[in-house]
Amino acid sequence: MKKRLFSKPFIYTILILYAVITFIPFLWAILSSFKSLEEIVSGITFLPETFTLDNYIQIFSQEPLFLRWMFNSIFITACMVFLNIIFNSMAGYALARIKFAGRKFWFFLILVVLMIPFQVTLIPSYLILKMFGWLNTYQGLIIPGMVNATFIFMMRQFFLNFPKELEEAAQMDGLSRIGTFFKIVMPLAKPALAAQAVFIFMSSWNDFMRPLIIMSDEEMFTLTLGLNTFKGQYISFWNLIMAASTLMTIPSLLIYAFFNRYFIKGVTFTGGK
């Protein structure tokens, strides 16, 4: 340990420098969102000269659809998280615990699906959604994404190591498979479900390409699309754009602040896969 003493200041320098590099774009965006337009165009100031909340108020008054976009994003993300948690866990549980004919085949299929880049299914999925009349609808975005092969795989691994005794006891007491699953197994799987939830939240909240293709009506836009449109309409009104960006990022940051250990767990799972 003593031999490392020499390099310690060096290590701290690297880490602090990189922390600053990571932090500056966020800080810059947030600070700018509190500046007036005059200050934005007149050149570079770091801290706002006159601190103003006008930008945040203006977003909602000038872009009446902003609230709608927020609602769309929240609604779609909430549905995605809820459905994914239940369906991925059900599939993972079946693949790990229930001995049914064709189980190996379905597991193999999940592994294959994991390798398929989603761009190849994009155009046909669009045509299928068109045939269903689901373009420009919530279900068009939610239903195709309501299960996720990565998390089915993760839940299967989780349930393989899950103690069997509890389920057996529950079945002795006359609970059915479904009853056992929802009343006994799911409550005990909370940490795995939380890791799943944060990742589904992030991928749905931040998704850009799928909403871009499926939603054509501005009223149906999610926040990511809305933000892009907003940027196009208010070019050079960077104070407003930064305020909108900040608003959009706050939910992610809050969830990250509260659940950051699940993020790390989820990433290391993806890594260990």
| Binding residues among 123-182 for other proteins as defined by CB under 8 A | 123-128, 143-144, 146-147, 149, 152, 176-178, 181
Query: Are 227 and 244 contacting, i.e. CB atoms less than 8 angstroms apart?
Result: yes
**Token pair belonging to 143:** 């239903």
Q: Which is nearer to other proteins, 47 or 101 (CB)?
A: 101
For other proteins (CB under 8 A), the number of binding residues is 96
Q: How far is the CB of 74 from other proteins (least distance, A)?
A: 14
Per CB under 8 A, contacts with other proteins among 193-252 are 202, 205-206, 208-209, 212-213, 224, 227-228, 231-232, 238, 241-242, 245, 248-249, 252
Q: How far is the CB of 22 from other proteins (least distance, A)?
A: 6
User: Contacting other proteins (CB under 8 A), which of 29, 37, 175, 184?
Assistant: 29
When asked if residue 12 is in the footprint of other proteins (CB under 8 A), the reply is: yes
DSSP character string of 90-155? HHHHHHHH---TTHHHHHHHHHHHHHS-THHHHHHHHHHHHHHT-TTSHHHHHGGGS--HHHHHHH
Q: Is 220 exposed, middle or buried (0-12, 13-18, 19+ CB in 10 A)?
A: buried
**Span of 53-61, 158-166, 189-197, 261-269 interacting with other proteins by CB under 8 A:** 261-269
When asked if residue 47 is in the footprint of other proteins (CB under 8 A), the reply is: no
Residue found under tokens 């390798």: 115
Q: Is 187 exposed, middle or buried (0-12, 13-18, 19+ CB in 10 A)?
A: exposed
**Span of 48-56, 58-66, 122-130, 185-193 interacting with other proteins by CB under 8 A:** 122-130
**Nearest in space to 126 (alpha carbons), one of 147, 149, 146, 144:** 144
